[in-house]
Every structure is written in C-alpha cells, then in structure tokens.
Amino acid sequence: MTQDNSEKWLEKAGLLVEALPYMRRYAGKAIVVKFGGHAMGEQAFVDSFAADMVLLRQVGTNPLVVHGGGPQIGAMLSRLEIESSFVDGLRVTDEASISVVEMVLAGGINKSLVSAIAKAGGKAVGISGKDGNLIQAVKAHDGALGYVGTPSAVDISVISALLAHDMMPVVAPTAMGDDGMTYNINADTAAGAVAGAIGASRLLMLSDVAGIKDKDGHLISRVNLEGAQALIDDGTVTGGMIPKLETCMQAVSDGAEAAVILDGRAPHAVLVELFTEHGIGTMIAKD
C-alpha cells in the first residue's frame, strides 16, 4: 500500500468514526425518503441511491422510500398517444390516464427501485398506497384534476409489518378512494402523510434545489414551523416550493420529528444530511 493510499483510507476511517454518533442517533428510527425527479431515469443515480438506502438499513435505521414518476408517466402517455391536459401546471388524470399512471408508478418504476436495492444487497418490497389500505384518498382540487387525490387517512399496518421483518418498503403514490376508484397522489404529499403517521425521525424530501434560501440567496439551514409559515407569508418562498414546504410543515405537525428539503442530485445527499454535524439541506422542525 502506498503512502497516498494509506492516507486516503485513514481519512475514510476517520469519517466513519465521526459518523458513528449520528448512526447511533438514528438506530431503530424510521427515515422516510421521497425520491423523484428526472434523475430517476438515470440508472447510475438510481443505483447510487439504492446503495445509500441499503447502508442506512445496515447501520440500524429503518428507511422507507416513497417515489414519484412524473416524467416517466408523461413519456408513457405520449408513447400511447394519450393526450394530457393541465390546470395550473397540474396534470389532469382522467380514466384513460389513471390506468397508465398506476402501471408506471406501481409497475415499472417501483420494481426497478426494488431491483436496484436488491442488487445493492438489501431486501425491499414494492407496494402502493392501495396495499394494506396504506393510503386512503379523496379527490383533490374539487375534482378539477380528475383522479388526482390527497390522503384522507393512513393505515401503517403494512409498513410496520414489513419493517418488523427487516424489509424496506418502497411505496408508489397511488391510493384507493371511498368510491373504490384509484387516485394518483403527489409523491411529496404521500411521503409527508406517511412520515407523519409513523412518527418518522426524519422526512427527507429530495429535490432539485439545495433547500430554502433567504431573500439574499443564502441557504436557511433550520427553521421552525412559525418561521416556515412566515417565509411563505412574506414571499421568500414562492412557486412550487410552497407546497413542498407546506407538506414538510404538515408532516411535522402530524408527528414527524423533523423534515428536510435537500438537493437529491448531490452525491450521497441522504448520508451527508443524516451522518454529519450540519447536514446539507433546510430542516423544518417544531422548535
């Protein structure tokens, strides 16, 4: 072993020692990770994410993945020549579309993530919000978007059973409504509802931005619920970040210890957030 290699491995060993207290902090705790975005279509990124999830499990945490799939749904609808319409930037999901949505989310995407986790050495089970009546839904936006719903109730029985048997749940955000119909749930919303219901230690919202920034463009590392609402009220947080932040706030109000918005494009973002002193995103907590 050369001197350069020796120093490199010693540095890595030092990083592991520094991470140990944080690993202990999350031992036995549930970590809900929302995974989505265009990077889901890049296999190398999926494989890296899967390896991170397996590492979380191996150091004693209980990771649970909720995934999206908007770009993949759009691509499949185009391939099948099913037209999509939008209301305020949100896809209208009609009867023709909802079957495609379910096929893509609970089929191809879900099973590819399960396979990637298995390849990385983990044991995952792919489910949807319909399995075990995990997520019950009601129509969203007064029904203007068709079969797009919001969670009305969460039954964590199936998740608890999987975690008790050392299985990692990978959840596709479709749900059953009281009318017996299938509904498409926004993945952020689904992850937040599940995190609140199971009292997750962390809800990690992987996004395409570093987190929430103040009006000077500086990253806000931590904010409480009152401060988060103030950021919305004064216009610091705008556009698509508003519903994401509101979902985090709701999850914390419902029982999650804290939620974090972080850049999922950064290598090993989940590990850096959980196992280093300062993390890399914006944490939303009660206090």
CATH of the domain at 232: 3.40.1160.10
d(CA 242, CA 265): 20
Q: In this predicted structure, what is the pLDDT of residue 166? A: 93
Long-range contacts of the stretch 238-244 (C-beta < 8 A, 24+): 241/209, 241/212, 243/186, 243/188, 243/189, 244/188, 244/205, 244/207
For residues 52 and 173, membership in a common domain is answered with: yes
Q: Is it the case that residue 207 has pLDDT exceeding 70? A: yes
* Whether residues 109 and 131 fall in one domain: yes
* Digit-coded pLDDT (tens) for 249-286: 999 999 999 999 999 888 888 998 988 877 789 999 99
At residue 243, what is the residue type? Answer: P
Total number of domains constituting the chain: 2
DSSP class of residue 125 equals: E
**pLDDT average, residue stretch 36-61:** 86
Whether 192 and 229 share a structural domain? no
- Would you say residue 192 lies in a domain? yes
pLDDT 10s digits, 20-32:
666 678 889 999 9
**Judgement on whether residues 188 and 234 belong to the same structural domain of the protein:** no
| Residues 182 and 125 occupy one common structural domain | yes
Query: Does the model's pTM come out above 0.95?
Result: no
d(CA 255, CA 131): 22
Instruction: Give 236's contacts (C-beta < 8 A, 6+ positions apart).
Output: 212, 214, 215
Position 16 pLDDT exceeds 70 = no
Residues 221 and 147 in one domain: no
- Asked if 62 and 174 sit in the same domain, the reply is yes
Range of the domain at 252: 201-287
DSSP 3-state of 246? helix
**What's the pLDDT at 158?**
97
Q: Give me the pLDDT at residue 10, please.
A: 45
**One domain for residues 156 and 192:** yes
Residues 154 and 249 occupy one common structural domain: no
Do 95 and 212 lie in a common domain?
Answer: no
Among 168, 200, 232, the domain-final residue is 200
- List pLDDT tens digits, range 121-164: 999 999 999 999 999 999 988 888 889 999 999 999 999 999 99
Q: Are residues 56 and 160 in the same domain?
A: yes
The verdict on residue 11 lying in a domain is no
User: Is the model's pLDDT at 195 over the cut of 70?
Assistant: yes
